[in-house]
Structure 1
Amino acid sequence: MTTNASDLGTEANVFESDVAGVTVRGKAHSLSVWFVLALRLMMGYAFLHSGWSKLAAPEPFDAAGYLTHVPAASPLSGLFHWMGTTQWFVEFVNVAVPWGEFLIGLGLLVGALTRMAAFFGAFMMLLFYFGNWSVEHGLVNGDFAYMLVFLAVAAFGAGRILGLDALVERYRLDGEPLVERYPRLRYVLG
């Protein structure tokens, strides 16, 4: 006997969310899985390449110039100026940005710790959004759009699509799925 979605009382490819009393419901096309995978792989490649370019460059990466030259109109220009003039923080950023980009990209490409990678990718893009502040053409720019792509990758659990997260979620420890034993893993996997 075949069981279809209507037999189970749910529809296939339907997602729903309730926030502050507002319910939003949508139905994804069956091809959506390929587009979610494409977004994960695209962002993974872009970040892996960007990180590797910084790590393999003949000159060491130095964020001080970027941090101290954020446009004055940026709501966070004072914070960026502090970051760029605080030596220990510049040294931290000089390691965190290239390695962060590289590891975020690697995680997305192989689909491992995808939600965590996407969260940190979105956080970096949020910082780049304020650091590259330019609103002549409106508040939405490429940095903002990439931030939303990272959040979509996390929300759709893109690491479960041809990714290592699917294997980790199915891994059994003493007969029990790992994510059932450690439910907080769902926040980083997927």
Structure 2
Amino acid sequence: MSSEEVTLQSTVGGFTAEGRLHTLSVWFILALRLMMGLAFLQSGLDKVVSGGFSASGYLLNAPAANGSPAADLFAAMGNTQWFVAFVDVAVPWGELLIGLGLLFGALTRLAAFWGAFMMLLFYLGNWDVAHGYINGDFAYMLVFLSVAAFGAGRILGLDQYIEQYDVDGEPLVERYPWTRYVLG
């Protein structure tokens, strides 16, 4: 193996996948993190600054109009006043915070998880399979999952420092192993 390559291997359900990464891969992982961070920061900031975001019309109309298999679920959400009020706050502020987390590389896996979750909901709500089941929302969901899987917050991000923060003589991630699920 050359000094420019790293081998990855994972076994799930008895199946093993293995591949080699080139050291340039780190730059592409960083680019994915920054791209999604900027996209979500801009989207969230636009909604927060305008103050006019409302999810009600989308929840009640778009999924049904798009033929989404989850249209009834979206309609139920849109007809639940407290839920709409929650979504009206969660979407703009969630996008903003996800964007900031990714741009700064802080709490990256947590931000990427919520970004992937939002993209899954957008995928179901914006259902359009005229050209196949893979669309931009689905692809963005996979980008978020890749950012999380590769620990992209450790690449020129704050997570590399947060993970090593000294807590009673040991790094934070060793003292509290659960933090590996939100950092990285």
Q: 2:177 aligns with which of 178, 183, 186?
A: 183
Letter in 2 for 1:91: A
Q: 2:110 aligns with which of 97, 100, 116?
A: 116
How far apart, CA to CA, are the structure 2 residues paired with 1:136 and 1:61?
29
How far apart, CA to CA, are the structure 2 residues paired with 1:124 and 1:97?
8
In structure 1, the partner of 2:59 is 67
In structure 2, the partner of 1:15 is 8
Deviation, structure 1 residue 85: 1.2
Deviation, structure 1 residue 71: 3.4
In structure 2, the partner of 1:43 is 36
| Percent identity of equivalent pairs | 69
Deviation, structure 1 residue 76: 0.6
> Which of structures 1 and 2 has the bigger CA Rg?
1
How far apart, CA to CA, are the structure 2 residues paired with 1:71 and 1:116?
27
Deviations 1:125-157 (A, max 9, x none): 000000000110000000000000000000000
In structure 2, the partner of 1:151 is 145
How far apart, CA to CA, are the structure 1 residues paired with 2:6 and 2:70?
40
Partner SS, residue 129 of structure 2? coil
How far apart, CA to CA, are the structure 2 residues paired with 1:172 and 1:84?
46
Q: May I ask how many residue pairs the two structures share in their alignment?
A: 182
1:32 aligns with 2:25: yes
Letter in 2 for 1:46: A
How far apart, CA to CA, are the structure 1 residues paired with 2:122 and 2:60?
13
How far apart, CA to CA, are the structure 1 residues paired with 2:143 and 2:44?
18
In structure 1, the partner of 2:157 is 163
Q: Which runs of 5+ in 2 are unaligned?
A: none
Deviation, structure 1 residue 173: 1.4
Is the contact between residue 70 and residue 81 of structure 1 (CA under 8 Å) also seen in structure 2? no
**TM-score normalised over the length of structure 2:** 0.95
Is the contact between residue 101 and residue 121 of structure 1 (CA under 8 Å) also seen in structure 2? yes
Deviations 1:3-41 (A, max 9, x none): x989xxxx9511111001000001001100000000000
Q: Which runs of 5+ in 1 are unaligned?
A: none
Deviation, structure 1 residue 70: 2.6
Partner SS, residue 56 of structure 1? helix
Is the contact between residue 123 and residue 147 of structure 1 (CA under 8 Å) also seen in structure 2? yes
